[in-house]
Structure 1
Amino acid sequence: MEGQESQVKELGMSRLMFYRHLESVETMRSYWELKQVQLKNLEQLRDKDGKEKSKVYPKGSKTQKKKKPLDTTDLVSAGLEEVQKLNEQNTQLSHCAAETAASTAVPLDLIEEEQEGEGYRDKKELVEEAARDEETVAELLLIKEEEEKEEDEETEKEEELLLSEEIQQAASNSSGQTNENITITLESHEEHLDITCSTKRHVSDENLETDDLKKSRVEEASEEEEKEGLKEGEEARLEAAEEGTEEERKDVEPVLEEYIIDSSPPPPALFEHRLVTTKTHQITSYYTINKEEVLGGGRFGMVHKCVEKSSGLILAAKIIKARSQKEKEVVKGEIEVMNQLSHSSLIQLYAAFESRHEIILVMEYVDGGELFDRIIDENYKLTELDTVLFIRQISEGLQYMHKMYILHLDLKPENVLCVSRQTNKVKIIDFGLARRYKPREKLRVNFGTPEFLAPEVINYEFVSFPTDMWSLGVITYMLLSGLSPFLGEDDNETLNNILACQWSFEEAEFADISEEAKDFISCLLVKSKSWRMSASQSLKHPWLSDRGLHYRLHQKKNKCHSSHAPPPQA
């Protein structure tokens, strides 16, 4: 009996193992069939989506027709039906196994319990797998929808760019286009965008929210484009109106004419700037001085033309009498000042030679003569515009000197040389009385030419940069009128006139002079030095910088010091 029971148990166990194996095979087959169904459905969806993609035409409205995305519940329900059929087959097989093992009640009952447990677990696993498959399908569909959204956004952006370009081209090409046409175009575009947005609404709430956000953004963009289009149309209309009235405005408004004066600097020296020290050699060993040709002279000595033997360079030799050591120190101070000045409006030093009774300065040569000669020459027709050119160059030279903290202190027409007789280029010369300005050291001087002295020099007060600007005002007055503003019967009367600051524009020579020139002089001949224009300010004054004024002066060609000018022809 025990052997039979053992055989029955073995038979039951073998059958149980067979049924379990059979069930696992059926489960795997149902799983793969479900996967194949899902893959077929996805391929069908992909094919349909590929066929129904929208087309965007550059100049037409966008029409998109999309089918409603397949519901995932249909796919899941189809899979569940297959699972239920397989479960029914498994239960039938389990019932057959129970009938064949009726003789062994107790062992088979245990087997049935185990089968039921295994069947429950198999069903549970199948349901879980189906749920996972459902999640996978849902994820794939969401990814597909996101890709479609991105494609739709790209097509929207392309269409908006095309429409904005068309609006800009229309506004620029047709100046007579009205705001109504632009408004209609933008309204139709806005309606078209609304229709496009309405075709993109999805079933889920999240998709609806994103569509609403996109629609609001598109509406904002369309409003901005509408404003820009209206603004461009208004600008085009204004331009057309301006073009239409251009001829009328020409008749009413005068055309502003300009004249650009030759504000280029004077030609530089024919040699590089040098740091000169006095040599004790004989100057005749290096230079040939023409004592018969005198270029100028004064209290210091005489200036002659000379030629460098080694190079043939034409220069000017300034011979200064200096017998005492004190006199020689004064001349060496002039050399020290000239070593610090490198500017095209200032004469340049080339070499210096010292002997027992004199010091000779070899300098840059210019052959235009003194500016004073042009003032007193009745045959030279000096115009106000010529004076502008002269004063501008002198102001530039003074501006450079003052930046280098050097005061000239002897500025007058005799110390301004013309580069040539054909041009209006000038250079400042004679730095014998120049001093270095030191703010902490109060400088007083008691020298200079009386009619060009500033009030602070006469009062033996501290001098500074405005001292040179007073002298510039006197030179300007003389160039425009041919008169000296403070000149008296003798030096005492001249100095008293300067201290009283007595001068005016009542002379007939100022009848044709511009108001800007008079204002320029008035800003310089001010008794208090703190109220005078600086060199930089003088260059910005309208008389020296206004091109419109220069055009009027060029057209007028008014002569300075009209008493020297020939009478007008009848």
Structure 2
Amino acid sequence: QSQIRSACAARSVAAPLPQRETPRTRPSQARRLHQRAWPPASCPPPLMSGGGDDSPNEITVEYEVGETLGTGHFSKVKLGTHRKTGQQVAIKIIQKPSGSKIAMLKAEVDILTKADHPNVVRLYKVIDTEKTLYLVMELLTGGELFDRIIAKGHYSEEDARVLTITMVKAVQYLHDIGIAHRDLKPENILLKDTTDTAEIKITDFGLSKIFSDDAAGEVVMKTACGTPGYVAPEVLMHENYSSQVDLWSIGVIVYILLCGFPPFYGDNDNQMFRKIKAGSYKFLAPYWDPISQDAKDFVSKLLVVDSSKRMDCEKALKHAWLQPQSQVSTKNLFEASQKASAGPPPSARAVAEEGGGDMHTMFVDFNLDRKASGIDQLRRAFELPTETVRLRRYKCAFSNQPGYLHVTTTHLCYLGGFGGNKKLCIPLTQIAGVSKAK
């Protein structure tokens, strides 16, 4: 359900910040830091709580409205089936906000209506009623890209290169029609379906903004938004910024694709922010030893603090690493790292807090942490009561699938790390009824 919820981009537009706030400092590991929205004030109160989704005639005449695929803070998504063609779609139902937020919601719709690219989620139809907005969208059932990589078990630098080409071309298309995504991250890179040849799709334009050329050929965007681990330094430094923020985010994503952990981390928010603003990262051994020099050069030319010196999409696509003649290894990085690594060095332990050491293990750990690192994410993932507090987290396995067991004040929750997102949730009141435990 969480895969489909993400696939349908079941989130609304993030409210712009009236003022930027200083990020709060609290201990946290690197992968966990990646997930908390920054700044906290950017999260408006929920727009809907589960009701108000009686579909209008414009929807029901054309589509049979089925089960709820997912819910978010701001919307819910239902399965729709076209009555004549049988085509399945995702019907995103958003209760319209009041006041100035209507304009923000309209901006998201304008973005989706404007985009028509094979690697960008499609918006087929918009139904605007007095209180509710209905978006008939492309249904994505393949889940998240990172889940597929882990489940596949075989992953090479060539695979990462092909994915990067597709991602950069899609972002170039968006920039060419005047759209900056501004919140590119693994959660927003999904797959069309479950086939091996499924197309990747960029989704969730909740933080996107249409920008227009000014006299200098660039318009600046001042709204601080994004997810901390992927956000460009110019955003953290409260400077005017442009669509180049997306290229920084691509650099972070490609770094993770090639080694299994993020480039920027720290014991608290401020440490990580300082590293991002300084562009301070390393290609740690032995994790980067199998990776080509061209790939490292590509990443280093994206993770450039000065946005004017950072590659844009056109230059990125001309880089040596992305050329057809580029000599890129097809060797399984998961298998290679398992043989090469005798455990992570101290500098990598800050990223791979549970140990492990090989790329596959770290990729699994990173993938799990980004989905349920904070209590808010855990509550959403398992639909826990609002008063729930997490007490402890344990690394474990279920049916040979690695994952985490979260012990909360109300439930025991298990989240698996492979594709399929295996989840189990048991209320503490029912623990006495559990027949077996290990």
Would you call these one fold, judging by a TM-score over 0.5? yes
The CA deviation at 1:282 is 5.7
Partner of 1:415: 188
Question: Is 1:539 aligned to 2:317, yes or no?
Answer: yes
The CA deviation at 1:292 is 4.2
Residues 304 and 388 (structure 1), Cα distance of their counterparts in 2 relative to 1, 3 Å cut: farther
Partner of 1:466: 244
Same amino acid, percent of matched pairs: 34
Q: Distance in 1 between matches of 2:314 and 2:110?
A: 25
- Please give the per-residue CA displacement for 1:437-485, whole angstroms capped at 9, x wherever unaligned: 2343532111111111101111221121211100000110111111111
- Asked if structure 2 preserves the Cα contact closer than 8 Å seen for 1:281 and 1:354, the reply is no
- Asked if structure 2 preserves the Cα contact closer than 8 Å seen for 1:390 and 1:424, the reply is no
Q: Distance in 1 between matches of 2:82 and 2:335?
A: 40
Q: Aligned Cα RMSD in Å?
A: 2.6
Partner of 1:382: 155
Residues 304 and 281 (structure 1), Cα distance of their counterparts in 2 relative to 1, 3 Å cut: closer
Q: Distance in 2 between matches of 1:418 and 1:521?
A: 24
* 1:381 aligned partner, one-letter code: H
Alignment of 1:304-383 (within 5 A): 304-355=78-129, 357-374=131-148, 377=150, 380-383=153-156
| Structure 1 SS opposite 2:224 | coil
Q: Distance in 1 between matches of 2:99 and 2:84?
A: 32
* 1:457 aligned partner, one-letter code: V
- Asked if structure 2 preserves the Cα contact closer than 8 Å seen for 1:559 and 1:565, the reply is yes
Q: Distance in 1 between matches of 2:209 and 2:295?
A: 30
| Structure 2 SS opposite 1:360 | strand
Partner of 1:157: none
- Asked if structure 2 preserves the Cα contact closer than 8 Å seen for 1:287 and 1:308, the reply is yes
Alignment of 1:78-93 (within 5 A): none
- Please give the per-residue CA displacement for 1:58-84, whole angstroms capped at 9, x wherever unaligned: xxxxxxxxxxxxxxxxxxxxxxxxxxx
- Please give the per-residue CA displacement for 1:273-317, whole angstroms capped at 9, x wherever unaligned: xxxxxx9756344323333444xx655434443212233211122
Partner of 1:456: 234
- Please give the per-residue CA displacement for 1:43-96, whole angstroms capped at 9, x wherever unaligned: xxxxxxxxxxxxxxxxxxxxxxxxxxxxxxxxxxxxxxxxxxxxxxxxxxxxxx
Question: Is 1:519 aligned to 2:293, yes or no?
Answer: no
Higher percent of residues as strand: 2
Residues 437 and 509 (structure 1), Cα distance of their counterparts in 2 relative to 1, 3 Å cut: same
Bigger radius of gyration, 1 or 2? 1
The CA deviation at 1:357 is 4.8
- Please give the per-residue CA displacement for 1:176-201, whole angstroms capped at 9, x wherever unaligned: xxxxxxxxxxxxxxxxxxxxxxxxxx
Residues 481 and 319 (structure 1), Cα distance of their counterparts in 2 relative to 1, 3 Å cut: farther
Partner of 2:171: 398
Partner of 1:290: 66
Q: Please list every run of 5 or more consecutive structure 1 residues that lacks an aligned counterpart in the other structure.
A: 1-278
State the TM-score, normalizing by the size of structure 1: 0.46
- Asked if structure 2 preserves the Cα contact closer than 8 Å seen for 1:383 and 1:560, the reply is no
Q: Distance in 1 between matches of 2:277 and 2:75?
A: 31
Q: Please list every run of 5 or more consecutive structure 2 residues that lacks an aligned counterpart in the other structure.
A: 1-54, 338-357, 362-438
Give the total of aligned pairs. Answer: 282
| Structure 2 SS opposite 1:549 | coil
Alignment of 1:203-242 (within 5 A): none
- Asked if structure 2 preserves the Cα contact closer than 8 Å seen for 1:481 and 1:510, the reply is yes
Residues 337 and 371 (structure 1), Cα distance of their counterparts in 2 relative to 1, 3 Å cut: same
Q: Distance in 2 between matches of 1:492 and 1:362?
A: 41
- Asked if structure 2 preserves the Cα contact closer than 8 Å seen for 1:477 and 1:485, the reply is yes
Q: Distance in 1 between matches of 2:178 and 2:335?
A: 34
Residues 291 and 435 (structure 1), Cα distance of their counterparts in 2 relative to 1, 3 Å cut: same
Alignment of 1:33-432 (within 5 A): 281=57, 283-294=59-70, 298-355=72-129, 357-374=131-148, 377=150, 380-421=153-194, 422-423=196-197, 425-432=199-206
Residues 461 and 565 (structure 1), Cα distance of their counterparts in 2 relative to 1, 3 Å cut: closer
* 1:391 aligned partner, one-letter code: T
* 1:365 aligned partner, one-letter code: L
- Asked if structure 2 preserves the Cα contact closer than 8 Å seen for 1:509 and 1:561, the reply is no
The CA deviation at 1:424 is 5.7
Question: Is 1:484 aligned to 2:262, yes or no?
Answer: yes
> Larger RCO: Structure 1 or Structure 2 (Cα < 8 Å, ≥ 6 residues apart)?
2
- Asked if structure 1 preserves the Cα contact closer than 8 Å seen for 2:180 and 2:246, the reply is yes
Q: Distance in 2 between matches of 1:459 and 1:280?
A: 46
| Structure 2 SS opposite 1:456 | helix
* 2:202 aligned partner, one-letter code: I
Pick aligned residue for 1:497 from 275, 291, 295: 275
Stretch deviating more after TM superposition (311-320 or 469-478): 311-320
Residues 293 and 456 (structure 1), Cα distance of their counterparts in 2 relative to 1, 3 Å cut: same
The CA deviation at 1:336 is 1.0
Q: Distance in 2 between matches of 1:409 and 1:560?
A: 34
Q: Distance in 1 between matches of 2:258 and 2:198?
A: 15
Residues 292 and 435 (structure 1), Cα distance of their counterparts in 2 relative to 1, 3 Å cut: closer
* 1:504 aligned partner, one-letter code: K
Residues 483 and 290 (structure 1), Cα distance of their counterparts in 2 relative to 1, 3 Å cut: farther
- Please give the per-residue CA displacement for 1:220-254, whole angstroms capped at 9, x wherever unaligned: xxxxxxxxxxxxxxxxxxxxxxxxxxxxxxxxxxx
